[in-house]
Chains A and B, each alone.
Chain A
Amino acid sequence: MTLRNPPLREVHAERDAKFTEFGGWDMPVEFDSIRAEHAAVREAAGVFDVSHMGEIEVAGPDATALLNRLTTNDVTALSPGDAQYAAITREDGVMLDDTVVYRLPDEERTDETPGTVPAYLFIPNAGHDAEMHERWVDHRDQWGLDCEVRNVTEDWAMFAVQGPEAPDLVAGAVDDGGPDVLDLPKFSATFAPFAGVECWVARTGYTGEDGFEVLCPWADAEAVWALFADDATPCGLGARDTLRIEQGFLLSGQDFHPEEEPRTPYEADIGFAVDLDAEFVGRDALAAQAEAGVEETFVGIELLDRGVPRHGYDVTNEDGHVVGTVTSGTMSPSLDKPIALGYLPVDLTDPGTEVNVVVRGREKRAKVVSVPFE
């Protein structure tokens, strides 16, 4: 399979980054040391090239209606510049993906349809852009809605600048005369010029730290990256993974997957991203589950014995029966202890509950803990 390259593939290679396949993309996994990159984000600032994330634009009179019917949250609550986390579910409530939906400034229409219409940008996970584009177009046509759906994944590069020093770094990189992005509340966004290029800058991220995500035109990626890469530590997907695991954040395709790990938003502990007052695909199944309760839910697990929990390892109860599976695990660089995420029956999810993780055939003592890990 031919891998898709982010626009700065060669720039990263010149910096001796190591690469890995992720979602069909050839992405930097590590520049120097995952541990050092992780620490930079927790203590100062790191910059990630996340140009493998998908971008889909939806604009037109019925754009709000289409997004509201295909994502689990209430898109009508968004004003221009607002962002919202949501799941994308099928009829049975199982998550196909998770996403952030941005409401863009309203678009001016053409002569044929005068006035302004709402416009959105949403971010499917790596490798999901074609599938989500098709899903949106099919449903738009099926429901007879009036809006344009464009897959702009290869129009926009995306960088995440994260860490306690990231806000000042990004604010200082805005061109003279641009907005003060420090005024942006969390989960809001605006257009701002960087290196003479109009970018979409959002106070969002996936590391648990303050910071921004900056989307810039693919062709200008190198100039914008350079604004951050000198003052923030370039980080790969390895550090991104350890950072998000420490926070208990889901990784699409690993912590949930429509075939291999079919999970609903309630099981995945992101019920806050579901608004049952909206009419979306999967809503009825989720309403039923909200009423009946879930049988299993997503938890944090801390190993008490030595070892490193990994994706796919069994979790057993005190009697040695398999009760769950690790969906993500690592040695936490910040906490210097082995941590894992996975699903357990609800009667085993109270913090402090003792379980085991089977590491290469051997049961290691572990306990259920709240996330974020601490």
Chain B
Amino acid sequence: MSFDVPEDLRYRESHEWIDPETGRVGISEFAQDELGDVVFVELPGEGDAVEAGGEFGVVESIKAVSDLYAPVSGEVVAVNEALFDAPELVNDDPFGDGWMLELDFDEGELDDLLSADEYRDQIA
């Protein structure tokens, strides 16, 4: 099975992505498929600080619970509150409507993340 890995995003080994343009963060298509039906998402609030590699929340599927790790350090400027009522958006559209956070972040840390090609190799 092959998974979508958009070229314009950067990835963490633990399967989170960040859009360098918008600062949006979510989990990859591969990750949502591994988790199965997502039923609950716990996210920080606007204004909270996150640290690269630190836990920022939790995503739970029917069968598993998984911590979420921040790809970069920054401040949360928006939270996708739609996920609280419709966590299945993470399954349906992980790179779109299933986004989780929007960060104001330090671009220098992007270099520590995987490119689309590198992430594709990791999940191959």
| Partner-B contacts on A (CB < 8 A) | 16, 18, 29-30, 33-35, 238, 242, 306-308, 310, 330-331, 333, 338, 360
B30 at the interface (CB under 8 A from A): no
Q: Is the CB of B40 within 8 A of A35?
A: no
Contact B37 A35 (CB under 8 A): yes
Given A308-B65, A310-B65, check contact A30 B60 (CB 8 Å): no
Q: Decide if the interface of chain A is mainly helix, strand, loop or mixed.
A: mixed
Q: Are A33 and B39 in contact (CB under 8 A)?
A: no
Docked-complex contact B36 and A238, CB < 8 angstroms:
yes
Q: Is the CB of B40 within 8 A of A306?
A: yes
Neighbouring A residues of B62 by C-beta, 8 Å:
34-35, 238, 242, 330-331, 333
As a 0/1 sequence over residues 68 to 92 of chain B, the CB contacts with chain A under 8 angstroms (1 = contact) are: 0000000000000000100000000
Least distance between A235 CB and chain B CB atoms (Å): 13
Q: What's the A-B contact tally at a CB cutoff of 8 Å? A: 37
30 A-B contacts, Cβ less than 8 Å apart?
Answer: A16-B1, A18-B36, A29-B63, A30-B36, A30-B63, A33-B36, A33-B37, A34-B36, A34-B61, A34-B62, A34-B63, A35-B37, A35-B62, A238-B36, A238-B63, A242-B62, A306-B40, A307-B40, A307-B42, A308-B40, A308-B60, A308-B65, A310-B65, A330-B62, A331-B39, A331-B40, A331-B62, A333-B62, A360-B58, A360-B65
What's the minimum C-beta distance from B86 to chain A, rounded to whole angstroms? Answer: 11
Extra contacts, 14 of them, besides A34-B37, A308-B40 (Cβ < 8 A), are A30-B36, A30-B63, A34-B61, A34-B63, A238-B63, A242-B62, A306-B84, A307-B42, A308-B39, A308-B60, A333-B62, A338-B40, A360-B58, A360-B65
Q: What are the residues of chain A within 8 A of B58 when measuring CB–CB?
A: 360
- Which residues of A are found within 8 Å of B36, using beta-carbon distances? 18, 30, 33-34, 238
Q: Across chains A and B, which 7 residue pairs bring their CB atoms closest together, nearest first?
A: A331-B39, A35-B37, A34-B62, A308-B60, A238-B63, A308-B40, A34-B37
Considering the chains assembled together, what is the distance between the CA atoms of A34 and B37 in angstroms?
7
Using CB atoms, name the residue of chain A closest to B33: A18
A238 to B61 CA separation, bound complex (whole angstroms): 11
A307 to B65 Cα, complex, angstroms? 11
Bound CA span A310–B63, Å: 9
CB nearest neighbor in B for A360:
B58
Q: State how many angstroms separate the Cβ of A274 from the closest Cβ of chain B.
A: 33
* List of B residues within 8 angstroms of A18 by Cβ: 36
Contact with A along B36-65 (1 / 0, CB 8 A): 110110100000000000000010111101
How far apart are B61's CB and chain A's nearest CB, in angstroms?
8
Residue of A nearest to B62 (CB): A34
Chain A, Cβ-Cβ closest to B88? A35
CB closest residue in chain B, given A362: B42
Query: Per-residue CB proximity of B10-41 to A under 8 Å, as 1/0?
Result: 00000000000000000000000000110110
**Which A residues lie within 8 Å of B39 (CB)?**
308, 331
Q: Using Cβ atoms and an 8 Å threshold, which residues of chain A touch B84?
A: 306
Separation of A34 and B34 alpha carbons in the complex (Å): 12
Question: Which residue on chain A has the smallest CB distance to residue B84?
Answer: A306
Complex CA distance for A16 and B1, rounded to whole angstroms: 8
Instruction: Give the docked Cα–Cα distance between A29 and B63 (Å).
Output: 9
For A306, what are the chain B residues with a Cβ–Cβ distance below 8 Å? 40, 84
Give the nearest-CB partner of A29 in chain B: B63
Q: How many angstroms from the CA of A30 to the CA of B37 in the assembled complex?
A: 10
Are A331 and B60 CB-contacts (below 8 A) given A16-B1, A34-B37, A308-B40? yes
A229 to chain B, nearest CB (A): 20
Please name all residues of chain A whose beta carbon is closer than 8 Å to the beta carbon of B42 when the two chains form the complex. Answer: 307
